[in-house]
Structure 1
Amino acid sequence: MTDFFSTPGRFYRGNLHTHSTLSDGALEPAEVCRRYRDEGYDFLSLTEHFLGRFGFPIADTSAYRTPGFTTIPGAELHSGAQANGELWHILAVGLPEDFAPAATQEFSAADDQETGPELAARAAGAGAYVSIAHPQWSGLTLDDARSLAAAHSVEAYNHGCAMGADRPDGFHVLEMLLAEGRRLDLIATDDAHFTEPDHFGGWVMVKAAENDPDALMEALKAGTFYSSQGPELHNIVLEDDEIVVESSAVVSMIVQAAGNTAKAVHGLSMTRARMPLHPFAASPWIRVTVIDAAGRRAWSNPIWMG
């Protein structure tokens, strides 16, 4: 039997993609942190646009930590052009304050800039948790995504991109990379600017020993978390030839695998379901989605079989 939520500790709710007036957000950093804290979040990463026009900010939010609420430094990094000519957007949580900026002043790519993959590799080398930001919104190609070899995860749901552009998705890019053997996790975020209803719509639930930046970073890199818009994943267990999923009350539990393979169980106020594993025998990985009666989802990270 394999129990995927057996790591010691408890789950902490956090947003990994947020902006304030230090870049192009509408609210001061203190107010952003207050709103997330009062909304019931346990932690937040303020990830300003790391551009010269904003002074290359890596926000010091330590003053806004309170008992029960902490912050992790980070930034949204930019440098070089994707295949479509647009500037790279790379999410980096846990950046050190002395991280050297790329030569990117504005929201535009130039030939003399460090490439996106080079910048991502530097961030990961400095200890950051790196994610491929909003692939659908960015118009990312599969070759673009492949080139970010340093990434830990794909931003599979971005609430700001959902509300402002109806382009929230990163699941296709994630699954194309999984098919090539890349061991990537997935995150849901807000990308909140507080200029539209782009906040409190997607988050990660990280299981860590304590609500401390170092412990949370360790758990993120270990993949001991899931992502959600509302439902809770309580447990995923592989028992011999079955998968057992336990959650808050939902109407659908779905297991996806490579290609078009997926199986679902539907019902009312379900909190536990089991499915045979043999339909997924040819897939090197599976992942789980649960959907509640309001249509909100929670997603597991990919589970590598064998």
Structure 2
Amino acid sequence: MRPIAFSQPGQFWRGNLHTHSTLSDGVLPPEDVCRRYRAEGYDFLALTDHFIGAYGYPIADTLPFRAPGFTTLLGAELHSGPMRNGELWHILAVGLQPDFAPGHAPDFHVHPGMETGPEIAARAVAAGAFVAIAHPQWSGLTLEDARSVTAAHAVEIYNHGCATGADRADGAALADLLLSEGRRLSVIATDDAHFSEPDHFGGWVMVKAEENTPEALLAALKAGAFYSSQGPDLRDIVLEGDRLQVESSAVVTVIVQGQGTAAQALHGQSMTRADLVLGRCAASPWLRVTVIDAAGRRAWSNPIWR
């Protein structure tokens, strides 16, 4: 058994799904954000400015910045509220149409009559977007909050801007709890770049598709045909009985995680192939793989449902 990212035809395209510009609270105008990512070797970018009234509810028109070998996905970071802690939700929506209707979010404060987070997430999914719960650790998201968002496709497992600016980058714990309750979610790594600090080029997705087009990329994202990374490459994952084979760029650790406390790890030097006996993970209904290179950078597979 191979996960879809390694079994379906196509090639991997590198992209960032969470970025800001001067249309909201970023430092660079949209054309410069796209130029920087293209120059860095990215294949695609989603510019996801804050969708609130104070910024005019922007969905950035990045079509003029597409070029041979580089495409863009329209999107926004949606806000509504409140979460359990009294603050606004942050919902990442990639693949929005330019006419997506604003909710009632005039600013970053809670106001009467707002949609709930789950409602605006469901509305974005119905409009065709790939939707993710953004930076759960940074947001102070509770498990009760996360359970309420039934329409999301993914959770941010890593947010580079939240790492550099707050040391609150993690989404793995929340994602694993939801997976253990049967939620079929994928996990994404993003930059959340504002270019006001070193918050860019630190987390991305590698999407498997036959074409580097918005339509093909969006379909692959929704299908879970991708993995996420800070640096290492995942090249193949094969599940056969009680064994898991992983091929990657050179890493020092390969871990397979499962439900509850289930985990198995293999450590070495410059490993490009690993063969793990599932052991404590053998009974888990889902598995996911993390690899770590010598610099401490990680790559994460999407969950594999057995």
Q: Under TM normalisation by the shorter chain, which class is it?
A: over 0.9
> For residues 218-229 of structure 1, what are the structure 2 equivalents within 5 Å?
218-229=219-230
Deviation of 1:240 after TM superposition, in Å, equals 3.1
Deviation of 1:297 after TM superposition, in Å, equals 0.3
Determine whether 1:60 maps to 2:61.
yes
State the match for 2:211 in structure 1.
210
State the match for 1:93 in structure 2.
94
8 Å contact 1:245–1:272 — kept in the other structure? yes
State the match for 2:251 in structure 1.
250
State the match for 2:14 in structure 1.
13
Deviation of 1:3 after TM superposition, in Å, equals 5.5
Q: Secondary structure at the match of 2:147?
A: helix
State the match for 2:149 in structure 1.
148
Amino acid paired to 2:8: T
CA distance in 1, matches of 2:171, 2:273: 27
State the match for 1:302 in structure 2.
303
State the match for 2:273 in structure 1.
272
- Shift >4 Å, 4+ stretches: none
Cα gap change, 1:30 to 1:23, in 2 (>3 Å): same
Amino acid paired to 1:216: L
Q: Secondary structure at the match of 1:90?
A: strand
Amino acid paired to 2:57: F
8 Å contact 2:160–2:199 — kept in the other structure? yes
Determine whether 1:132 maps to 2:133.
yes
Q: Secondary structure at the match of 1:67?
A: coil
Amino acid paired to 1:244: Q
8 Å contact 2:121–2:152 — kept in the other structure? yes
CA distance in 2, matches of 1:172, 1:3: 22
> For residues 37-52 of structure 1, what are the structure 2 equivalents within 5 Å?
37-52=38-53
Deviation of 1:7 after TM superposition, in Å, equals 0.7
8 Å contact 1:43–1:71 — kept in the other structure? yes
State the match for 1:30 in structure 2.
31
> For residues 71-82 of structure 1, what are the structure 2 equivalents within 5 Å?
71-82=72-83
CA distance in 2, matches of 1:189, 1:132: 12
8 Å contact 1:80–1:111 — kept in the other structure? no
8 Å contact 2:62–2:74 — kept in the other structure? yes
Amino acid paired to 2:197: E
How many equivalent pairs are there? 305
Deviation of 1:109 after TM superposition, in Å, equals 1.2
Determine whether 1:233 maps to 2:224.
no
Of all paired residues, the percent bearing the same amino acid is 70
State the match for 1:161 in structure 2.
162
Deviates more, 1:262-271 or 1:276-285: 276-285
Deviation of 1:246 after TM superposition, in Å, equals 0.1
Q: Secondary structure at the match of 2:80?
A: coil
CA distance in 1, matches of 2:46, 2:62: 9
Deviates more, 1:239-248 or 1:155-164: 239-248
Determine whether 1:172 maps to 2:179.
no
Deviations 1:258-302 (A, max 9, x none): 111111111111000101234322211010000000000000001
TM-score of the aligned structures, taking structure 2 as reference length? 0.98
Q: Secondary structure at the match of 2:89?
A: coil
Q: Secondary structure at the match of 1:114?
A: coil
Q: Secondary structure at the match of 2:33?
A: helix
CA distance in 1, matches of 2:155, 2:127: 19
Q: Secondary structure at the match of 1:186?
A: strand
Deviations 1:112-159 (A, max 9, x none): 111111100000000000000000000001010011111000011000
Unaligned segments of structure 1, at least 5 residues: none
CA distance in 2, matches of 1:172, 1:273: 24
TM-score of the aligned structures, taking structure 1 as reference length? 0.98
Deviations 1:192-249 (A, max 9, x none): 0000000000000000011000000000000000000000000000123311000000
